[in-house]
Amino acid sequence: MLFPFSVAVDDCMLRAFFQILQRSGNDKVRSYETRFQGVSWDDDNWHLTTQKLFQGHYQNRLSLSNGYLGINLAATGPFFEVDTPVNDDGINGWPLFNRRQTFATIAGFYNEQPRTNGSNYPWLYQFGGESTIAGIPHWAGLVVEANGAILNASVNPDELEGFSSTLDVGAAVLSWSYTWKPGGEGDIRIEYSVFLHKLYVNQAVVQLKLTTSRDMEVTVYDVLEGDCAVRSEFADKGYETDTPTIWSAVRPSGISNVTGYIYSTLKGNECVDLETRAHVPDGRFGRNQSSIAQSVRLSLVAGQTAEVEKYIGIASSDAFVDPKGVASNASSTGASNGFVKLLHTHIQEWNTILPQNSVDSYYLPNGSLPNIANILEKQITAVTNPFYILQNTIGPNAVAAAGNNARLDIYSIPVCGLGSDCYAGLIFWDAEVWMAPGLQVSHPNATNQIVKYRVEKYTQAQENVNGAFASSQNRTGKFSAGGAVYPWTSGRFGNCTGTGPCFDYEYHINGDIGLSFYNQYAVSGDGAYFKEKLLPIHNSIAHFFSELLTFNESSGFYVLTNATDPDEYANNVDNAGFTTALIQNHLNRANALNRWFGEPVNESWAEKAEKIRLPVNEEAQIILEYSTMNGSISVKQADVILIDDLLDYESPYSLGDLDYYAAKQSTNGPGMTYGVFSIVANEISPSGCSSYSYDLYGSQPYAREPWFQFSEQIFDTYEVNGGTHPAFPFLTGMGGANRVAVLDIDPSLPPQIPYLNYRNIYWQGHGINRLPAEEFTLPTANKTFSTQPIPVTLGTRPGKFSLGEKPLVVENRLIGQTDTVAGNILQCKQRVTSSSQYIPGQFPLAAIDGATSTKWQPASQAETAILSVDVGPPYYPIKEVRLDWGTTPPNAFSVFFSNSSGLSFHISDLMADPSEVVNVTWSQKVALSQPYIPEHAFVIEPYIGNQTNIVLDAPVWSGKFAHLLVQGNQNNGSKEAPGATVAEWSVVREGRLLDIKGYPIY
């Protein structure tokens, strides 16, 4: 069954505003200003447009890919660019620690090298080196020279006017337009467009249009920039004399039998004289030997538009027997077909991959988008998040168009896709656990390659078991034939390396792969493929897990030793909570699948699964991360709560885990964690709307202007984020925001979201939520459910349900309307504002979402901060105010009511004018109910925040607005310290009111 929810937004973004624009004439277009100044979203056409130019910064560059080719493009145009260091930092992150710059590559183009600059286990290099993604020459550049000035990535911004750049998401086309005044003289209207063909994946196109206000001589350079070919070796290059073509060839370093070829053919309209074409001397563009360029001179005539196009063809011998011929043909046929024809077939293919029904819609039934800024952003990322990941996949149509080339779609998705070498382009659990689930349910064809990559590496995974001698699991005879173990990181070979150990590290990668296999079968219904290809690997992982466990004679249970869970702050521990639960789940599921497909059941696996116990603390009512965990823990990323998210695991500790580990999350962790908290909160919370707060936390602090690409970190400056050079664009985080868990249907839409029409989802190959059925049925669909109803489980709700010819209506669980504190008039109100800036992710909404695990925190303790809630009529007699300050109480606070918003009072002002405000309660000195005791730091205790509860002497009538004013920070009084935390604020009404006829009015 499918549990399609990871939904949560907030309506209090102070800088965003909602604006509807109209095109000239009668055509209306729904276009909105985003919270990023100068960035707009056209929702009718899925256009994201920025009018702000930021050069030399990776956050402002966009990556394009078609699943086979990938490239990163400069902010000013389709150029190669090196980052301008910020705070003396221009370094990419672990494990390469190389220079940040634009990148281009081919799927599977991995090298072999002795080691990387960073590693998990450097001593493993004695057994072999690393395999990292290698670059190819940056092929998109069409550089212009005029009046002695150069238009490239570092063009003088003072020479540019009217800058605009647009990503057409539906067409996967990136464009730029502006007026260039070269050398401060004359005007040239510049228009660039780039796309990587989604159907014919060896092809890409760059178009340049130039229009001048007066006659002018210019030179256009077609550049293949070799400085982008990092970790590659020069093979060959050429300047063709019979066609306007240049080409370059490189090999991944250390790999002698693989070569990638990059061809570029120039074409122009009647304004372009190709007879002026010339070979540009080496050294003009790039220092790398693989650089090559050709030029053409243009005599621009005022008012006429010159069009220069370059048609790219790229192929490597990883996927093609004759890569040079394939690349050459792709370039020449592209030029022959022309821009318009290629663009048309490219858009057609994208329309089959990302139609409107494949993404979530927040539009109301009347066709309007709610006037709530954060729902606008939710609408934007509902499109952009899947798009950015889908760019890096190859569909069945593209495979067929390449002659049913079975080598095209066997590569998984790197952490930052094919337009970045972040994390060395290696494959992690990110693909299986974070990127895949949200796409598996809506785009099963796209996620096939994530599964196929592990199938390709299966033989090596079997061989990897023989490396146990170099680990703590080196007992003779412990592992027998039949098992398979995958490394933590994987490139060309899938072997155990210094960055990707197979033993004494993150064993959960193997269970993650098993989950992905099962999920792919659940959505596709392809039982034949699962039985033939995936079930044997799933069983081999079970075989390995069963032998990895160690029997503890004293306890009588099987335990996992010397492992690292998803929380990488806790390395090499025993009885890691999530991995232990995952192993138990995998063993049980393996037997269930074998039984389902008529294969033998392994009784030993069942026995060992029965004798597994998770580490728990009964007093705190939580599952521990590992046996010896103490209360001082700081958690890097989602860990224990993944048990409730990913596994079919009955746990009495779910709520305790959610609250406890929310308080332990490091602010320096990666940006996919809070999507998990949102899913789990939505699933298990009995009241409130914290899932809404968590999902907001898992998205907005990580989204970067202008393209809504995610960064790995909340803060991109490594000096303040724990020393991390963030991965970018972080597809893992985008997947975390987009993902849904393959669990069950049990919806609870937060009250802040008026309406949600969910994306089309698949189960056993049958489309759910869309008719007619024949248009939403996969070729692999389980035919049983073509004639029989689909069984449906509604979470923990009793009864059996089915989906057949008639719609199944599932009632929304309105947990947001269930009071956590009885009579609280503030819970989950939709209009909440903060008078001050607040810490990223610590949203005002969190203070009234019915959960103490989320919080609001102003950015500065030196500034008085006011939280205002639009309560609205009716008005209530208030008897009590409850405040949970979390871990950081203020020095002073006040609660007051008013009938106007936007107030900016100090505590001393509150009693001055009773006509303006009604003071409810205040204190100049907040008492601590949970003072910090150093000797308790290591004690595991249930989460309890500092609380201030006031029962009023006499009821006070509420106003339209409730305000909470806080001053100071009792834990840190320095000027630079953040403000106090407010985990939950409740204003409790007195009993029920009756109207004049004696009927209750609330």
**pLDDT tens profile 552-605:** 999 999 999 999 999 999 999 999 999 999 999 999 999 999 999 999 999 999
Residue 677 parent element (H or E): helix 673-684
Q: What pLDDT does residue 995 have?
A: 44
Kindly report the number of other CB atoms within 10 A of residue 720's CB atom: 13
CA–CA gap between residue 442 and residue 791 (Å, rounded): 19
896-904: average pLDDT: 74
Ramachandran bin of 701, using left for φ above 0, alpha for ψ from -120 to 50, beta for the remaining angles:
alpha
3-state helix, strand, coil in the chain (%, to 5): 25, 25, 50
Q: What pLDDT does residue 21 have?
A: 25
Options 145, 307, 568, 705, the catalytic residue = 568
CA–CA gap between residue 262 and residue 584 (Å, rounded): 49
Residue 448 parent element (H or E): helix 444-456
Q: What pLDDT does residue 902 have?
A: 57
**pLDDT tens profile 297-326:** 999 999 999 999 999 999 999 999 999 999
CA–CA gap between residue 945 and residue 811 (Å, rounded): 34
**pLDDT tens profile 927-973:** 888 887 777 788 998 888 899 999 999 999 999 999 999 999 999 99
Average pLDDT of every residue of the chain = 92
Please check the confidence at residue 7 and state whether its pLDDT lies above 90.
no
**pLDDT tens profile 685-738:** 999 999 999 999 999 999 999 999 999 999 999 989 889 999 999 999 999 999
Query: What is residue 435's DSSP assignment?
Result: I
**pLDDT tens profile 520-533:** 999 999 999 999 99
755 to 284, 688, 823, 940: CA distances (angstroms): 57, 18, 26, 41
Sequential DSSP letters for 610-641 = HTB---EETTTTEE-SSTT--TT--BSS--TT
**pLDDT tens profile 357-395:** 999 999 999 999 999 999 999 999 999 999 999 999 999
Q: Measure the CA dihedral 841/844/847/852, to 10°.
A: 0
Q: What pLDDT does residue 997 have?
A: 45
Please check the confidence at residue 53 and state whether its pLDDT lies above 70.
yes
Residue type, 64: L
Percentage of residues of the chain with pLDDT beyond 70: 94
What per-residue string of b and e applies to 638-655 under the rule 16 or more CB within 10 Å gives b? bbbbbbbbbbeeebebbb
Sequential DSSP letters for 2-71 = -B-------S--SS------B-SSS-B--EEE-SSTTEEEETTTTEEEE-----S-GGG-EEEE-SSEEE
Dihedral of CA 99/104/110/111: which sign? negative
Decide if 941 is catalytic.
no
- What is the total residue count of the chain? 1002
Side-chain half-sphere of 684: how many Cα atoms within 13 Å? 22
Q: How deeply is 908 buried, as exposed, middle or buried, from its count of CB atoms within 10 A (0-12, 13-18, 19+)?
A: exposed
What per-residue string of b and e applies to 99-109 under the rule 16 or more CB within 10 Å gives b? ebbbbbbbbbb
Query: What is residue 130's DSSP assignment?
Result: B
| Max CA separation in the chain (angstroms) | 96
CA–CA gap between residue 592 and residue 588 (Å, rounded): 6
Q: Which pair of tokens denotes residue 656? A: 């305790």
Residue 732 parent element (H or E): helix 731-738
CA–CA gap between residue 501 and residue 486 (Å, rounded): 9
Q: Which pair of tokens denotes residue 739? A: 């993902």
Residue type, 149: A
CA–CA gap between residue 332 and residue 244 (Å, rounded): 10
CA–CA gap between residue 602 and residue 588 (Å, rounded): 10
Q: What pLDDT does residue 743 have?
A: 52
pTM here is 0.94
